[in-house]
């Protein structure tokens, strides 16, 4: 993919804006300058025409007495003029005037000022009638070549000064952007150093001080922290799962080796195959629990529904009644009213059966196991309390870790994989609930799960 440089884009944008400003400024300043000069030219033209008008006399009785005092005139030698009587008769004219130029002057429309071209030169002329009774009129024209020359000079001056200014701005903008964008570059460099083997990300102090970069830097930090935890959890899970499977397979293999070591009678083979089947069942359970965890941790949103937790508890305890009788444990189930929570029925089933099974497995004979569902301020609460041996306080923080067992040998004997509580935690987290285990060695264990109620 083609990449873009932010510095270049920003520099380009700022320079383009500056270029537009410089060009606009040059054009406007030149136009303004020209307007001023043209007005000054018009005033000069009018002054010359006025002085010519003052110097011109039309003697009406004789119609040929003209008084023109050249010393009173201030016109340029290149200027051309004509002084006309009201009849159109030429009273006086400049020495450099030619018949075709005179024709142009008189043929122009009756406007105060007008422009025309003659002999390759541009002229601006003024038609100025006298206010006196002799009713003469002066047409005075002067070349605008100087005016045009001055316009070009003014435009050059403004263009050059704008270009010089633009150059200074370019240097300043590049320097400024480079220095201001350096925290962003440093942030990108440090983020680029992060890899599966090196999760360390220390955002640059400059980026944390920059208001726009701070959220990006902290988000990267939080994201990487979460990813690292998840990655390590997955790695540990894979290692633990492989270890568990390997142990089960080793048990299976040694059972088979034992069975085939010497010839046996039919009864011995039957007992051996039955042991093998129970080993395989345990592997099946382990695989199923691992799949359940994987399903719960998958990102896909599963459709939850409103279910009655009391009904689930009653159904689970009824199903486990035979096991409770076997272990000589009495179950006190308090779940008479209906209490609705939002969850998949299958997950509620797994959660309740894991907790009740744990409690039954750890309850001593002739003890009472309490299972209740009730409504509390914070929502709906499931309470499972046994009178078993309890859990040492050092083990409490690890109970929700995968494959964690307090007493490994005892758990293996009972077929435990150490995934039950991890699954319970994943289910409760998914339904935005809270699970808490209180236990004291010798005083039994209580598990309290609180769910937000379903309306
Ligand atoms: P499984 O995955 O089959 O449930 P498990 O019961 O060993 O195996 P968890 O349910 O996760 O695994 O329990 C983890 C450990 O916590 C157990 O090995 C056990 O030592 C301890 N534990 C759980 N519940 C209780 C309880 N009610 N009383 C005493 N210890 C308990
Ligand atoms: Mg368990």
In tens, the pLDDT along 169-197 reads: 889 988 888 888 888 889 989 998 888 78
Q: Are 116 and 108 in contact (CB under 8 A)?
A: yes
User: pLDDT at residue 297 above 80?
Assistant: no
Burial of 243 per CB tally in 10 Å (0-12, 13-18, 19+): exposed
Sequence-ordered list of residues with C-beta below 8 angstroms from that of 358, at least 6 positions apart, any chain: 420, 421, 447
Q: Name the residue with higher pLDDT: 76 or 210.
A: 210
What confidence category does residue 294 fall into, taking pLDDT thresholds of 50, 70 and 90? confident
Q: Name the residue with higher pLDDT: 296 or 361.
A: 361
Ligand 1 centroid to residue 372 C-alpha, Å: 20
User: pLDDT at residue 7 above 80?
Assistant: no
Q: Check if 444 has its Cβ closer than 6 Å to any atom of ligand 1.
A: no
Q: Are 235 and 229 in contact (CB under 8 A)?
A: no
Give the model's pLDDT for residue 356. 97
Q: What is the CA radius of gyration of the chain?
A: 52
Rounded to an integer, the average pLDDT of 201-223 is: 90
Select 6-152's CATH number: 1.10.3720.10, 3.40.50.880, 3.30.450.20, 3.40.190.10.
Answer: 3.30.450.20
Q: Are 143 and 44 in contact (CB under 8 A)?
A: no
Closest CA relative to residue 392, chosen from 442, 433, 356:
442
In tens, the pLDDT along 218-235 reads: 999 999 988 888 888 788
Ligand 1 centroid to residue 277 C-alpha, Å: 24
Residue nearest to atom 27 of ligand 1 (CA): 359
Q: Which ligand is nearest to the CA of 289?
A: 1
Select 304-455's CATH number: 3.40.50.261, 3.40.220.10, 3.40.440.10, 3.30.565.10.
Answer: 3.30.565.10
Give the model's pLDDT for residue 307. 93
What confidence category does residue 331 fall into, taking pLDDT thresholds of 50, 70 and 90? very high
Measured distance CA(317)–CA(355) in Å, rounded: 11
Mean of all residue pLDDT scores within the chain: 86
Ligand 2 centroid to residue 422 C-alpha, Å: 9
Rounded to an integer, the average pLDDT of 281-293 is: 88
Give the model's pLDDT for residue 300. 55
Beta-ladder partners of 82: 93, 139
Q: Check if 347 has its Cβ closer than 6 Å to any atom of ligand 1.
A: no
Q: Name the residue with higher pLDDT: 412 or 248.
A: 248
Give the model's pLDDT for residue 357. 95
Q: Are 443 and 390 in contact (CB under 8 A)?
A: yes
pTM for the predicted model, two decimal places: 0.60
Closest CA relative to residue 357, chosen from 300, 414, 422:
414
Give the model's pLDDT for residue 69. 53
Instruction: Compute how many other C-beta atoms are within 10 angstroms of the C-beta atom of residue 405.
Output: 20
Closest CA relative to residue 397, chosen from 437, 368, 433:
437
Q: Are strands 330-334 and 368-376 parallel, antiparallel or unpaired?
A: parallel
Ligand 2 centroid to residue 415 C-alpha, Å: 9
Q: Are 56 and 68 in contact (CB under 8 A)?
A: yes
SS3 at position 367: coil
Measured distance CA(370)–CA(446) in Å, rounded: 9
Beta-ladder partners of 143: 123
Whole-number percent of the chain with pLDDT over 90: 34
Instruction: Compute how many other C-beta atoms are within 10 angstroms of the C-beta atom of residue 327.
Output: 17
Q: Which of 104-113, 136-145, 241-250, 286-295 has the lowest average pLDDT?
A: 104-113
Closest CA relative to residue 223, chosen from 203, 237, 204:
203
User: What atom in ligand 1 is closest to the CA of residue 400?
Assistant: 11
Q: Are 441 and 390 in contact (CB under 8 A)?
A: yes
Closest CA relative to residue 286, chosen from 423, 433, 177:
423
| Ion ligand 2, residues whose Cβ is below 5 A away | 358, 420
Locate the DSSP E strands across 94-153.
Answer: 113-118, 121-129, 137-143
User: pLDDT at residue 137 above 60?
Assistant: yes
In tens, the pLDDT along 350-360 reads: 999 999 999 99
Q: Check if 411 has its Cβ closer than 6 Å to any atom of ligand 1.
A: yes
Classify residue 268 by its DSSP letter: H
Residue nearest to atom 29 of ligand 1 (CA): 390
Q: Check if 362 has its Cβ closer than 6 Å to any atom of ligand 1.
A: yes
User: pLDDT at residue 136 above 70?
Assistant: yes
SS3 at position 109: coil
Q: Name the residue with higher pLDDT: 365 or 93.
A: 365
Quote the distance between the C-alpha of residue 147 and its chain's center.
57
Residue nearest to atom 18 of ligand 1 (CA): 405
Give the model's pLDDT for residue 411. 57
Give the model's pLDDT for residue 71. 53
Give the model's pLDDT for residue 63. 46
Measured distance CA(386)–CA(349) in Å, rounded: 19
What confidence category does residue 85 fall into, taking pLDDT thresholds of 50, 70 and 90? confident
In tens, the pLDDT along 17-71 reads: 988 988 898 899 889 988 998 999 999 999 888 888 877 765 545 444 445 555 5
State residue 200 phi and psi, 5-degree precision.
-65, 125
């Amino acid at each position: 993919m083609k990449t873009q440089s932010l510095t270049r884009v920003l520099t380009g944008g700022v320079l383009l804006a500056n270029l537009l400003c410089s060009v606009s400024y040059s054009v406007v300043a030149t136009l303004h300058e020209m307007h001023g000069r043209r007005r000054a030219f018009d005033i000069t033209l009018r002054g010359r025409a006025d002085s010519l008008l003052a110097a011109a006399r039309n003697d009406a009785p004789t119609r040929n007495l003209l008084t023109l005092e050249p010393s009173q005139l201030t016109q340029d030698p290149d200027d051309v003029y004509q002084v006309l009587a009201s009849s159109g008769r030429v009273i006086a004219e400049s020495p450099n005037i030619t018949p075709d130029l005179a024709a142009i002057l008189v043929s122009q429309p009756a406007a105060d000022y007008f422009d025309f071209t003659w002999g390759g030169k541009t002229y601006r002329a003024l038609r100025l009638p006298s206010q006196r009774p002799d009713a003469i009129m002066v047409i005075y024209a002067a070349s605008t070549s100087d005016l045009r020359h001055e316009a070009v000079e003014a435009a050059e001056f403004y263009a050059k000064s704008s270009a010089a200014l633009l150059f200074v701005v370019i240097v300043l903008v590049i320097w400024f952007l480079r220095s201001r964008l350096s925290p962003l570059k440093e942030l990108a460099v440090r983020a680029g150093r992060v890899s599966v083997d090196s999760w360390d990300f220390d955002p640059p102090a400059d980026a944390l001080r920059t208001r726009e970069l701070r959220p990006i830097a902290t988000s990267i930090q939080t994201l990487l922290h979460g990813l690292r935890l998840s990655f390590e959890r997955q790695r540990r899970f894979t290692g633990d799962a492989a270890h568990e499977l390997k142990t089960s397979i080793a048990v299976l293999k040694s059972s088979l080796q034992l069975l085939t070591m010497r010839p046996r009678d039919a009864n011995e083979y039957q007992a051996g195959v039955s042991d093998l089947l129970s080993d395989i069942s345990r592997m099946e359970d382990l695989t199923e629990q691992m799949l359940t965890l994987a399903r719960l941790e998958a990102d896909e949103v599963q459709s939850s529904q409103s279910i009655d937790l009391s009904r689930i508890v009653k159904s689970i305890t009824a199903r486990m009644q035979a096991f409770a009788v076997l272990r000589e444990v009495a179950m006190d189930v308090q779940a008479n009213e209906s209490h609705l929570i939002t969850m998949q029925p299958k997950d509620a089933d797994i959660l309740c059966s894991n907790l009740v099974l744990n409690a039954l497995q750890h309850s001593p004979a002739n003890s009472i196991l309490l299972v209740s569902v009730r409504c509390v301020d914070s929502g709906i609460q499931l309470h499972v309390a046994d009178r078993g041996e309890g859990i040492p306080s050092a083990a409490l923080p690890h109970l929700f870790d995968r494959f964690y067992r307090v007493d490994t040998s005892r758990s293996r004997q009972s077929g435990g994989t150490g995934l039950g509580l991890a699954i319970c935690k994943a289910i409760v987290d998914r339904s935005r609930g809270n699970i808490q285990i209180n236990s004291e060695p010798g005083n039994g264990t209580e598990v309290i799960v609180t769910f937000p109620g379903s309306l």
